Structure 1
Amino acid sequence: MKRKALQAALPYTLPIFIGFLFIGLSYGFLMTSKGFSVFYPIAMSIVIYAGAMQFVAVSLLLSTFSPLYALLLTLMVNARHLFYGIAMLEKYGGAGWKKWYLIFGMCDETFSINCTVEPPAGVDTDWFRFFVTGLNHLYWVASTALGAFLGAYVHFDTTGIEFVMTALFVVLFLGQWERREARRSAVTGLGCALLALVIFGSSQFIIPAMILITWSLLWKKKFYIPKEEQP
């Protein structure tokens, strides 16, 4: 049963491995280039497992300790997982002990697969989702470890390597922009970020921008949904 579930899950996760490989390598390189031991990025990928937030955590670890700022920033960066969790409550409800790991390991890519893909006939659904989650987690940890060890022994100028996550989000933004129905949300996010940047400055604008974006999207959702469709 477990082998069939693993064999069914593997093809869905291999494309994610390619993406994780380059981002994880960059993260491992970045951590070691900042003077951290190779075990820091590996441990963070195992325990935290939050790609974008791990990149942000590098600067948090090197700056003045501010637990409240770190808490709020982490909450805003990963706020989307609240909605992921709500969407998966019913699907994960009967998974037994596996539910706890499924919750912990639910990144964007894992959510996309586990939310939309039904395993083939004869494959246990809970084990399929478990292996999707586990394989993606393994890819991220392995990629981070490879980048960390290479960064420790292969020395080159890593200036700008932290831009990899910014580049990823730029690509996601362009993908939204190409879809006409998604441009309103893209413009809203860009406008809120620019407004917060002007008001709060480059060192303090992220949290206000995220709050403003969240409020704007919730308001626009209520405004644009016809009254007969509103709850």
Structure 2
Amino acid sequence: MSPSLSPSAWRSAGARTVPVMFGYLPLGAAFGILAIELGMPWWAALLMSLFIYAGAGQFLAVALLAAGAGLVEVAVATLMLNSRHLFYGLSLIKRFQGAGWRKPYLIFSLTDETYSLLTTQPAAEQRDHGLAFRISALNQLWWVMGTLTGVMIGSALDFDSRGIEFALTALFIVLTLEQARRLRQGLPFVIALLAGVGAILLVPDQHMLLTAIAAASLMLLAHYHHGQRGARDEVPTA
């Protein structure tokens, strides 16, 4: 048996994904219950976790569809919400070189938590594509298992789901705190706060989310461009 397919290899990868499992099982269940409560068929919720696997994007898509949002608005909001993965992917281009048949799945399954696990591996394991594949697959398995549990509970029981939609807010709070701890830069969060409050005060509810995301993105791009221009101006000329 290939070492990468041995039970011990999967147990080793599984041990690393335990923290993610404790988050993905309840969050996946919350998504499954919410999807059922909002009228989505159980199989559609399960297929979303199998073939979309977007975490917060799934909560957002289900909530927007239930609120009567159009497919274009859902697609744009989901794209902007998950645009951070573009930067994740760029930072892992060299890491995934030589991954062979695993590479498409490694790209598809890259979530915030999987990225965190892959980038904190010891240097000796940075090129172990088999380990990266197992970590990614197990993380998705926890999410799918959570979703399956949630749709079973939502379909079989008269479940009082009031407040369960706060799971999405809680997820974003945790992600924001983690990013703040890692980046140690206040400006991006101040910009996000200003954009969000401004959208709440000035924009109709149906366009509030897209406006806030677009405004924050534009302000961050403008700040980045200003910083790059200032750096070029400071370069001494011969």
TM-score of the aligned structures, taking structure 1 as reference length: 0.88
**Which runs of 5 or more structure 2 residues have no equivalent in the other structure?**
none
1:60-88: CA deviations, max 9, x gaps?
A: 33344623222211111111011111111
User: Given residue 43 of structure 2, which amino acid in structure 1 is its aligned partner?
Assistant: F
Distance in 2 between residues matched to 1:230 and 1:127, nearest whole Å = 45
Letter in 2 for 1:159: R
Uncovered stretches (5+) of structure 1, i.e. residues with no partner: none
Distance 1:164 1:153, change over 3 A: same
Query: Pairwise CA RMSD of aligned residues?
Result: 2.6
Q: Please tell me whether residue 78 in structure 1 is matched to residue 82 in structure 2.
A: yes
Of 90, 94, 117, 2:94 maps to: 90
Is 1:143 paired with 2:146?
yes
Structure 1 position 29, deviation (Å): 0.9
Distance 1:174 1:127, change over 3 A: closer
Q: How many residues align?
A: 230
Counterpart CA distance in 1 for 2:179 and 2:133 is 30
Q: How far 1:186 moved relative to its partner? A: 1.3
Which deviates further from its counterpart, 40-49 or 127-136?
40-49
Q: Is the 8 A contact 1:119 1:125 kept in 2?
A: no
- What residue identity is the alignment partner of 1:216? M
Give the aligned partner of residue 196 of structure 1. 199
- Cα deviation, 1:30-53, whole Å, max 9, x if unaligned, reads 111223332221111001100111
Q: CA deviation at 1:219?
A: 2.4
Identity %: 33
- What residue in structure 2 maps to residue 127 of structure 1? 130
Structure 2 counterparts to residues 79-228 of structure 1, below 5 A: 79-118=83-122, 125-174=128-177, 181-224=184-227, 227=231
Alpha-carbon distance in 2 for matches of 1:40, 1:192: 33
Relative to structure 1, the CA distance from residue 169 to residue 91 in structure 2 (aligned partners, 3 Å threshold; closer, same or farther) is: same
Aligned residues of 1:222 and 1:230 also touching (Cα < 8 A): no
Kindly indicate whether the alpha-carbon contact (under 8 Å) linking 1:110 and 1:136 is maintained by their aligned counterparts in 2.
yes
Provide closer, same or farther for how the CA distance between residues 114 and 181 of structure 1 changes in structure 2, counting only shifts above 3 A. Answer: closer
User: 1:140: how far off?
Assistant: 0.2
8 Å CA contact 2:29, 2:147 repeated in 1: yes
Q: Deviations over 1:129-153 (max 9, x none)?
A: 0001000000000011011101111
